[in-house]
């Protein structure tokens, strides 16, 4: 049985040829054309083999509906966001299924501010998908143009917020693994500008993922081995659309993608105080770091736009998600692995320490992430009600699934768990964290058993 079409605040995802069809492309593209009032739309894609053909179909549909379209080609997701702002467009479309397997693809929809659509905006597009496409007469068809300046614009924005000369003076030896995705070429160009000695692996943007698409420790054995082999200062790993970043230290050990946002938060807050916003699934280390710096800390529902809207509301200095997503308002309101790379290199240069040394001074937690497929007809609300009744006195949040911070329960005290349905896959996510591996595993096993019973 094929996977269903996934429609959420994260976009519209499906398997190409099954649920992601030409009819769907026309339906979504024409709805988005109406949403942006037939204005100018920037279109970019990741390196998946289906991306170019889908891009042509989307661009032609937008133009036939009357939109002027600017095709920026194969670029990271954050690059499309930046170019929507730069070109003062009315919206943008990214063709990328991010971390999903190669057979998937997706629409990620961007508003005129260069941010992903929020829940009310995406619902508006969904409602417009029920209408018949409105193609224009020959003399009202939109223009299609090409812009190949996006790498330069994105890189210049990143370089404008770090001490370039200091980083260049260190001549860092860096291994980069872009999983043959959209970050392959632009990341190498950024590292060249920072005078790094670059050892690339999986940096041919052909969309054939030689490892698991997510930058998780279990997928980064080749990167770890290469860092040790060449005695690199650090290794960087991206996902296919280059909005997520994971780190490998100089010993070849994964830092864990949760600690990307923790490290960058500590770095930026040490230079200038400001508020911090992350989602409910992000490591408690970031909360501790914010407390250490004496700044306001907020959590939101999972999803980039949820974090971004809270950041805008609170004037946050830094934000992100624990999956390796860094959001720096100085650059733009979107997760950006290039921003993360530049900040991490600046941090190492300023502190004159390896990343393992810096990491050792941060709060240490152990996270367990997993996912389960629920039995048909399962009522998650009933499961949540049962769970809540078992933990009176503990801190509970229901803004996005169910999160419990264990402040009273003696077995799990000091840890937390987050249970929620995925926005991007037809599964249920379970995330636990505690100060010891044993406690984190115990929390995970307890709730996994309840969910799958």
Nearest residue to 101 via CA among 258, 304, 240: 240
Q: CB burial class (10 A; 0-12, 13-18, 19+) of residue 108?
A: buried
Residues 6+ apart with CB under 8 A from 140: 66
Q: Choose, from 30, 47, 96, 98, the residue flagged as catalytic.
A: 98
Report the DSSP pairing between strands 234-238 and 245-248. Answer: antiparallel
Residues 180, 210 contacting (CB under 8 angstroms): yes
Nearest residue to 290 via CA among 280, 304, 275, 309: 275
> Cα–Cα distances in Å, from 43 out to 126, 393, 402, 423, 424?
19, 49, 36, 23, 21
- The residue written with tokens 């492309």 in the block is 25
Nearest residue to 451 via CA among 432, 424, 438: 432
Q: How far is CA 92 from the centre of its chain?
A: 17
Residue 442 designated active-site: no
**Sheet with strand 428-434: strands edge to edge:** 366-372, 428-434, 416-421, 402-405, 395-397
How much is the CA Rg of the chain, to the nearest whole Å?
Answer: 22
Catalytic residues: 98
């Amino acid at each position: 049985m094929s996977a269903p079409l996934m429609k959420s605040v994260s976009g519209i995802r499906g398997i190409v040829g099954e649920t992601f069809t030409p009819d769907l492309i026309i339906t979504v593209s024409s709805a988005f054309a109406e949403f942006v009032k037939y204005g100018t739309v920037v279109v970019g894609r990741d390196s998946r083999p289906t991306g170019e053909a889908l891009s042509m179909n989307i661009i032609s549909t937008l133009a036939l509906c009357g939109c002027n379209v600017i095709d920026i080609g194969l670029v990271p997701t954050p690059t499309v966001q930046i170019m929507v702002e730069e070109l003062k467009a009315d919206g943008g479309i990214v063709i990328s299924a991010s971390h999903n397997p190669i057979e998937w693809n997706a629409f990620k929809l961007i508003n005129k501010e260069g941010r992903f659509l929020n829940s009310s905006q995406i619902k508006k597009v969904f409602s417009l998908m029920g209408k018949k496409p409105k193609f224009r007469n020959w003399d009202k068809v939109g223009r299609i143009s090409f812009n190949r300046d996006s790498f330069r614009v994105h890189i210049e924005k990143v370089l404008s917020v770090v001490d370039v000369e200091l980083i260049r003076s260190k001549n860092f030896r860096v291994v980069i693994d872009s999983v043959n995705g959209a970050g392959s070429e632009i990341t190498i160009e950024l590292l060249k500008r920072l005078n790094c000695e670059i050892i690339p692996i999986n940096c041919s943007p052909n969309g054939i993922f030689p490892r698991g698409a997510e930058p998780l420790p279990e997928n980064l054995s080749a990167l770890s081995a290469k860092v040790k082999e060449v005695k690199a200062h650090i290794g960087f790993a991206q996902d296919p659309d280059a909005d997520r970043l994971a780190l490998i230290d100089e010993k070849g050990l994964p830092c864990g993608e949760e600690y990307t946002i923790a490290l960058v938060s500590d770095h930026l807050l040490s230079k200038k105080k400001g508020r911090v916003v992350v989602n409910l699934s992000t490591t408690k280390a970031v909360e501790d770091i914010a407390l250490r710096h004496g700044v306001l800390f907020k959590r939101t529902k999972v999803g980039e736009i949820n974090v971004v809207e809270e950041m805008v509301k609170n004037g946050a200095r830094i934000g992100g998600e624990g999956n390796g997503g860094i959001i720096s308002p100085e650059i733009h309101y979107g997760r950006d692995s290039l921003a993360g790379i530049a900040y991490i290199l600046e941090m190492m240069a300023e502190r004159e320490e390896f990343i393992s040394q810096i990491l050792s001074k941060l709060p240490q937690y152990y996270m367990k992430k997993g996912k389960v497929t629920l039995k048909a007809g399962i009522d998650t609300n009933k499961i949540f009600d049962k769970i809540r009744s078992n933990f009176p006195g503990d801190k509970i949040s229901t803004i996005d699934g169910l999160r419990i911070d264990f402040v009273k329960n003696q077995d799990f005290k000091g840890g937390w768990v987050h249970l929620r349905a995925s926005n991007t896959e037809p599964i249920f996510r379970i995330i636990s964290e505690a100060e010891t591996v044993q406690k984190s595993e115990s929390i995970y096993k307890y709730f996994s058993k309840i969910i799958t019973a």
